[in-house]
Structure 1
């Protein structure tokens, strides 16, 4: 590739890595945040919820907003928002303000994710497959090393560092992006009937508000019950309001012409629906370990942030190493053998967590981390392959959007599961219960993969 293309690719890569990096670094920082703000895990888990709910809403919306603002402008705006949030968040005096800046940071980084791939596809015309694979390394690599980076920062400084570390990446991306990303004209202009009301309908503003408020209210209701230890009229009422809002959201999405989440698609394409269910379960399993294990290691086993980050690195590295192997395996044998192997690995890793006791060497946890890491690499490639086979060609864009939404829902559910099981404080007994639940879910995943294999055999469809 030409020098200009490499500079553009690095500019976009430095921007898009901020979302996975910031979503993963916080895994090791949670115990430190509990201490700094004198909160329990259930309360601090909102640092995870806030980021993923905001990302789930912002990423699909920002793709449409780029039609209004232009891709280059949206990318630079995302960098500016991320810079401001990363600079101001360390000044937060209360946890509420920290959550607010975390949401702003999520929205800013989502702007870049939404248009980054499109910018590379349009403006890097030679060796495009290689360019996209490099961009994928920025994304997956940032997620893989996030806990390690978070552990190092927490060991040498405190929680403020996980925000300030973004600034060099943002500055580097701004300088390169300003020079290398060509200007593009918005494909849709405001005016001519395309006013605020028009864009509100196009973006499904009502659906977005109902989805976000309903999900937040439901989470507040459930987690407040676990945190307080008893049901009160107030937390029950908040939970019920959340359920009602989500029901209204579902009804609205079924009627609107431009739904935020096209629920009618699930009914029309059941095979694609099952892929999304499986991807949600996969992420529920993976992120339950991803966010739960660092807190267990630091709170229960008294492992330092430094060594926790080192241990968690094995999870990300195994996932990265498994991805290219998964691609070759799936090209040769189809996705189903790889997916079945990944589910069995998750069962093995979950059972291993259940067998741990207070005297088990901490290093043995690497076995479970390796099992989940390899499984994650196989699942990411395998389920995407199944998605593209189950979705009609004209719906690939919609299918990809739903696929990402399933990932965010799985991640949110993982944090909810940890909060419900652990409550206000991590314990050895709670972690064992979490391991049992993960074993049950991973066994269910095995059953789902086997069911698909039998269904395909019954229909005489080749497995490859």
Structure 2
């Protein structure tokens, strides 16, 4: 087994997640027409996928930590293929939504357990480069998803789901060959009550954040108000468990908490920019596509370099530099409401993309290395949930700022918010390790419960 082939197997699983998040978006009109519903109704097959992904990754990661990450990841690939095949033959929107949710359940196990496997199998000092490969694959999936989805939808939207099957087969074959088998970490009875409560809490939080981007009603306000006492009660309950599904003291591990805070701010800036830029360049779809390609291209091409920088210098400095580059790249958009000549727009977004390439592998590395190996997949899942919640805040900001009418002032304010979020990401990044992650295992074990 080589570290590179292991990283490629994990990257193939991670590729499926953003690919299936973005492919389907461009096919919603065809799905609505064939299933006899309106386009607005089909949006739930996108929203439900994102909510499930945001909510279930910590639980799926914890299951992998206990039962064995190889076993969970292989099972998730099989389940994803079956769910995709079933979605392709769905005859109603309800059935399609059900199988789309099954896709999300499988995908929520792929990301945290894949990164947990890299933490488990590779020595410190060599993980960052492989994390960079995985980050590049995820960025590639998000970038090519609309293109692949548009091409397949022109033939038949069902191919958007069927194309996953051979990818899953190839990923399974490679993973079966290169992923090492390790004994599970079963130390006590599984905290089923905590897992259900955590899932319900995260689902409610994701639903509230998603709803705030569209409308505010009494139900949303009531659920949102109940989240804080519910989270406090869950923390009290988990603190009393011998092997909790989410140890509350995990967040007292400084580097882990800093990584989660940093990625929340960073993803607010990144996801918000991805959504707002086409609005700012309305009527110029070619300019918008070129600009977004420059933004995504920088993050894909330089992600492996960002991972190697984290190996050499520790996660703090690449993350700090990346956050500042991201902010510097977004600042011209705030000053001009993105109304720049094309060559300048490409240049500034390419700089922002390079910033993403340096932050993301470094933050992921810090999150999974800051905790004991037995919590690595859980840590990766919580980190991913923090990332999704940051993206949801970005979409809420767009809905509030733009509203029914878009103006130059509102666009300036929106991009200023995203640039400020990128600058804000630099602050918690200073709490990340500076010269490799410290491995004071007894202290970290105590902090993690």
| TM-score, normalisation: structure 2 | 0.73
Greater Cα radius of gyration, structure 1 or 2? 1
Match in the other structure for 1:461? none
> Closer, same or farther in 2 for the Cα pair 1:262/1:441, shift >3 Å?
same
Is 2:268 the partner of 1:284? yes
Does the CA-based 8 Å contact 1:218-1:241 persist in structure 2?
A: no
> Closer, same or farther in 2 for the Cα pair 1:382/1:302, shift >3 Å?
same
CA offsets, 1:192-250, max 9 Å, x none? Answer: x95xxx5514x532222233134314533x2342xxxxx6xxx2223312331443133
Does the CA-based 8 Å contact 1:216-1:242 persist in structure 2?
A: no
Residue ranges of structure 2 left out of the alignment (5+ in a row) = 433-449
Does the CA-based 8 Å contact 1:151-1:309 persist in structure 2?
A: no
Aligned residue among 415, 422, 425 for 1:442: 422
Match in the other structure for 1:148? 144
Match in the other structure for 2:26? 29
> Closer, same or farther in 2 for the Cα pair 1:361/1:161, shift >3 Å?
farther
Q: 1:28-427 maps to which residues of 2 (within 5 A)? A: 29=26, 38-39=38-39, 49-66=47-64, 70-90=68-88, 98-117=96-115, 133=129, 136-155=132-151, 157-158=153-154, 160-177=158-175, 198-201=190-193, 204-217=195-208, 219-220=210-211, 222-225=212-215, 235-256=217-238, 257=241, 258-266=243-251, 268-269=252-253, 272-294=256-278, 300-303=282-285, 311-327=291-307, 338-356=318-336, 360-362=340-342, 364-383=344-363, 391=370, 397=376, 400-423=380-403
Residue ranges of structure 1 left out of the alignment (5+ in a row) = 226-230, 454-464
**Distance of 1:348 and 1:392 partners within structure 2:** 32
| TM-score, normalisation: structure 1 | 0.71
Shift of 1:73: 4.2
**Distance of 1:130 and 1:448 partners within structure 2:** 24
**Distance of 2:228 and 2:308 partners within structure 1:** 41
> Closer, same or farther in 2 for the Cα pair 1:275/1:110, shift >3 Å?
closer
Instruction: Considering Cα pairs closer than 8 Å and 6+ residues apart, tell me whether 1 or 2 has the greater RCO.
Output: 2
Shift of 1:104: 1.7
> Closer, same or farther in 2 for the Cα pair 1:34/1:395, shift >3 Å?
same
Shift of 1:373: 0.9
CA offsets, 1:257-284, max 9 Å, x none? Answer: 2554444443x44565344322210111
Does the CA-based 8 Å contact 2:128-2:309 persist in structure 1?
A: no
